[in-house]
């Protein structure tokens, strides 16, 4: 059993889903410090990004949605690419 599934089994769905929220808020806080207070906190941003990615992996196992998320991401990225193409066509490419 992989570590993500093991964590869900050992600590339970509710605790782990609350941990998703906690880690997202920690990352939010570091991003805000970086932008609003010009804090040199890239090390903290790295740490919190890793924490969020670990918890998002557990969330995908928890709800059994990994494949659906992948499918939606592909669709979404195509839409973003289309919007970028349109923007660059209108305003010119960003160097
Ligand atoms: Mg954290």
Distance 82 CA to ligand 1 centre (A): 34
Distance 23 CA to ligand 1 centre (A): 5
- Give the side-chain half-sphere CA count within 13 A for 51: 19
Distance 54 CA to ligand 1 centre (A): 10
Give pLDDT, residue 43. Answer: 98
Distance 3 CA to ligand 1 centre (A): 17
Q: Where are the domains of the chain?
A: 1-64, 65-95
Global pTM reads 0.91
Q: Cβ distance 4 to 58 under 8 Å?
A: yes
Q: Answer whether residue 1 shows pLDDT above 90.
A: no
Distance 47 CA to ligand 1 centre (A): 7
d(CA 76, CA 67): 14
Contacts of 33 (CB under 8 A, 6+ apart): 39, 41, 44
Q: Cβ distance 44 to 23 under 8 Å?
A: no
């Amino acid at each position: 059993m992989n570590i993500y599934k093991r964590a869900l089994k050992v600590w339970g769905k509710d605790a782990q889903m609350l941990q998703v929220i906690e880690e997202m808020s920690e990352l939010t806080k570091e991003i805000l410090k970086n932008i609003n207070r010009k804090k040199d906190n890239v090390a903290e941003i790295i740490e919190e990004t890793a924490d969020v990615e670990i918890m998002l992996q557990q969330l995908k196992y928890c709800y059994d949605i990994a494949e659906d998320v992948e499918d939606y991401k592909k669709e979404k990225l195509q839409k973003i690419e289309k919007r970028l193409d349109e923007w660059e066509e209108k305003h010119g490419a960003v160097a």
